[in-house]
Amino acid sequence: MKQADAEDRIKKLRKEIKEHNERYYIHNVPVISDFEYDLLVNELETLEKKFPELADDDSPTRTVGSDLTNEFRQFTHPYPMLSLGNTYSEQEIMDFDARIRKAVSGIVEYVCELKFDGASVSLAYVKGVLKRALTRGDGSKGDDVTHNIRTVRSIPEKITGNNVPDEFIIRGEILLSKEVFNNLNEARIRDAINPFANPRNAAAGTLKLLDPGITAARKLDCIFYFVLGEDLPFDNHYENLKAASGWGFRVHESIRLCKSPGEVMDYIRHWEAERENLPYEIDGIVIKVNSLSMQKELGNTAKSPRWAIAFKYKAEQALTRLLSVSFQVGRTGTVTPVANLEPVLLAGTTVKRASLHNADQIALLDLHVNDMVYVEKGGEIIPKIVGIDHSYRDSGSIKVTFAENCPECGTKLVKNEGEANHYCPNYLHCPPQIKGRIGHFISRKAMDIDGLGEETIDLLYNSNLIGNFADLYKLHAGQLIPLERLGEKSAANIIKSIRLSLGVPYHRVVYALGIRHVGETVAKIIAKKFSSIDDLMEANMEQLTAIREIGPRIAASIVSYFSDKDNIEIIRRLKSAGITLREETKAEQAGNSLTGKTIVISGLFYRNSREEYKSIIENNRGKYSSSVSKNTSFILAGENMGQSKLEKARELGIRIINETEFLGIIGEE
């Protein structure tokens, strides 16, 4: 390959890999398998070695994929969180062992661990107390997710035991069990919310939620795999992990000390056969040099430790024929391509359809009708196409192209810059969007209207009884009773549930409106900042993006929604129906739960500002004080609590509570 050709290919690979990193780490919606991703990285590494003059320190081969987001504060990792080198080959494990033994002297031992498929976190403990939790981030710094981590039951707030260092870092993998994941997706489907693709995406997304209450409800778990520090009890990885288990950290019982590469391969083969029986998804095995002094001697590359490697299991695949591609329209207008396949048995189920995600994926695969395609189901709800066997392709086969017009209403599709998906802009008159928005509006976490499933919504829409969700509030039982599958009792229950929805809190109404990019958490934030729907309708881009959690894309979507006269008319009708379209004031929320209590506030907070907490204390008949004394009932402590207040509290034996505990006391959690 000539240098000019290599330069073009390298630029294309770097751009493509960075896009996949963003999809994986930031959006938790990967569109290619780990194996395909690794092939791209390996190709790039090979070209960069062959043409060293084209090297770049910013290349994905030299940097760690980043999950950093603007919604969280960032802190530097005391020890960089590097990525592991991957292999799918037994021979490469043997080569890895040969390199290790050549580079160091002494007896080489390895620790083998299951490679759990979740989201990595790094926890800092000082004097036995959890101080901070960071995501991997870009390897050098991570997002502070301490508030969410405190909701994970398998992560101890305080630890005791033998030989606990004064300060140390412990790393683990945040996980969702297969059972919890399946239950979560069943609930999302019932509530007309798109299911998560796999447990890893669900865990990573949950870790970045802005509401710790939702995080707690997701039942995350954590399994720990690495202890770091200057004063660890042992000079080897295996015994330090065992010690951490004794301190109260969950270390999986499968870890094994291996004396030879043969024992490593036995471990790999054993768990390849047994992994389906585990409660959690794993995608491979991690092999680490046991001796810490050897680890230090071997060192790291810019991206990966030289003393560890991951053996990746290939996801189960099947080869079948692509019959056609259809296009589905969601409630927000997003158009998703779906592959229709000749039925094939895969991972114990018969597969007839597979996800194609978006136009980029179709172009990447270069799909043609009647292609023989490889379908993979590695933790996916809907299987996906990961490759093509070109030897079966007919010379006259027709190339698959993405739809130009909406398959339901014929409107020309739109693709915004910076977004992966096409969508239909005809949201007021495109039937699946209308019915999808009604389904979202009535869902449990929105207006919570019982008795109106997908079939009933279809029935009401096709009978011209409803054309949007505001029409629900003009229905009466007499219109419903004659309809198929309904009767007096069902009709009465539906009307009763519609009437009960008038009392749903304002923030849930904002979520129920179905504004593009406005999910449950963002709706809460918006409702808090704009205390009535009228204030929100008048908000401009500058006011919206001034909110830390609101970026330009969300802000533009909100402004666009309320600039549409048809949406304004729907809001007017919801007002007339009596729906709650303003937030209760602090005075309206006041209670007497803090009567007789004197409370000191110290530190930085996430849910409310210090001034808001002062008002909340007074509204609940408590007394705010700026200094700690024997009369202090408790201290409401946030991040970076003042040291003098902390020492005074310990001296006087005064209780210190966090933000979540405080909100629980006043009945807001």
Catalytic residues: 115
Q: Single out the residue of 328, 329, 333 nearest to residue 514, CA to CA.
A: 333
**Rounded CA gap, 648 and 654, in Å?**
8
- Helix then strand then coil, in percent of the chain rounded to 5, is 40, 20, 40
**Rounded CA gap, 105 and 82, in Å?**
25
Q: Single out the residue of 550, 558, 551, 557 nearest to residue 533, CA to CA.
A: 558
Which amino acid does the sequence have at 629?
Answer: S
**Rounded CA gap, 104 and 99, in Å?**
9
**Rounded CA gap, 264 and 252, in Å?**
17
Contact 539, 528 (CB under 8 A): no
Contact 343, 334 (CB under 8 A): no
Location of structure tokens 């987001």 = 69
What tokens does 281 get? 């998804």
Pairing of strands 317-329, 282-289: unpaired
**Rounded CA gap, 486 and 492, in Å?**
10
Contact 129, 300 (CB under 8 A): no
Per-residue HEC secondary structure of 385-410 comes to EEEEEHHHCCCCCCECCCCCECCCCC
Q: CB neighbours of 371 closer than 8 A, spacing ≥ 6?
A: 321, 322, 388, 389, 392, 393, 397
**Rounded CA gap, 570 and 580, in Å?**
14
